[in-house]
Amino acid sequence: MRRVPGIRRRETRQAEAALRSRGHPPKSLGNDLRAERRAELTRAFDRAPETGGAVGLSIKQLSANVGAQIEGVDLAGESDPSMIAAIRAALLEHQVLVFRNQDLTPESHIAFSKHFGEIKLPPVATAHGGPPEINVIDQTDPRGEGADAWHADNTYTPTPPMGSLLRVLQLPAVGGDTAFASMYAAYEALTPSIRSLCDGLAAVHDVTGSITKAIARGHSVANLADIQKKLPPVEHPVVIVHPETGRRALFVNVNSTTRLVGLSEAESEMLLRFLFEHVKQPEFQARVRWDTRTLVFLDNRCTQHYAVADYRERRILHRVAVEGDRPVGVRV
């Protein structure tokens, strides 16, 4: 067990310097909200002792490249700005946070999520009722429905979520884990030549693939044509610059990314197939076993996840997404 180092002022300055070196002054990347977040983090670090982390938060790293289990916080009533800033700092460092022994309701789940930004409503409504902020994922035989493939959430929207906060309400007796992978690690593991190629590319993301998988499995989904009209294809960089850390991450996934802009169909298919396989490497991953008192907070800008479809009993998961910004690529 060790104390949270977070991202101290020195590391924040390094990240901002990296952005400037790429022609991205931090203020030009976004809005006042980002500046406010950086200031909030700095204030939290000012209050933290130099030999430890902020406000008593502690972590246990899950793997070399992604994930940490957080202890020392009760999310149901948490509103202290120092603690919220420390959690954000831990998310930026570890990309996926696992909180055990939490007693949350749908209302407290939403309330905690709001500390990190505006809630992004599910782009495709479900028929489960309840608070509109919660996307209910209710499955019994999930094979082939899309979650059992490496993906980031809602990349077919112009502004994908910055993060998703997940908790399971009902579990099968065995199985139903979720694996998470670092897209920082996936990018950094590429050869310099492939990194350079990907840095200059954009990709098309389309909702159609995700929806047709659900329809093929017999799910009742609103008219596909209406969904496609509401959510037309969008372009995002193949490699994005994380708006808060300045690190580069791969940003393509098999569920939503359909082609690479400016390449022939054969070239696009070949490179995407390679990238889709590349992100699956175990070295990039951590795996989380659920219980009904666990909440997972993932940074959707730099991770992908995979819901292991090894069960045939009912599993109910609630997801709350926090609104993000339009992804920004590398200026080459």
For the chain, domain boundaries? 30-329
User: Mean of the pLDDT values across residues 108-119?
Assistant: 98
User: Does an H or E element contain 115, and which?
Assistant: none
For 88, 155, 157, 261, 284, the CA distances from 232, given in Å and listed in that order, are 32, 12, 8, 16, 31
CA separation, residue 16 to residues 41, 45, 247, 321 (Å): 14, 17, 10, 26
**Residue 25, pLDDT score:** 44
Distance, CA of 327 to chain centre: 13
pLDDT tens for 256-273 read: 999 999 999 999 999 999
Q: Does pLDDT of 214 surpass 70?
A: no
Q: Return the pLDDT at 134.
A: 95
Rounded to 5 degrees, φ, ψ at 240 are -105, 155
Residue 329 CB contacts under 8 Å (≥ 6 apart), including other chains: 199, 202, 236, 237, 238, 239, 240, 241
Which range (53-62, 233-242, 308-317) has the least confidence?
53-62
Nearest to 152 by CA among 190, 125, 184: 184
List, in order, residues 6 or more apart from 124 with CB less than 8 Å away: 207, 211, 221, 222, 227, 231
| Reported confidence tier of residue 191, pLDDT bands at 50, 70, 90 | very high
Q: Mean pLDDT throughout 72-84?
A: 92
For the segment 286-302, the average pLDDT, to the nearest whole number, is 98
Considering the chain, what is the average pLDDT of its residues? 84
Q: Closest by alpha carbon to 298, among 276, 317, 320, 328?
A: 320
Relative to beta strand 239-241, strand 248-250 is: antiparallel
226 in helix, strand or coil? helix
Binned at pLDDT 50, 70 and 90, residue 70 comes out as very high
Answer yes or no: is pLDDT of 69 > 70.
Answer: yes
Catalytic residues: 151, 153, 305, 319
* Element housing 193 (H / E): helix 192-199
Q: Are 88 and 41 contacting, i.e. CB atoms less than 8 angstroms apart?
A: yes
The CATH H-level (homologous superfamily) assignment of domain 30-329 is Clavaminate synthase-like (3.60.130.10)
Q: Please give the Cα distance from 59 to 122 (Å, whole number).
A: 30
Q: Residue 237: pLDDT above 70?
A: yes
* pLDDT tens per residue, range 39-61: 544 444 444 333 234 567 889 99
SS3 169: strand
Percent of the chain, pLDDT > 70?
Answer: 76
**Rounded average pLDDT over 175-201:** 98
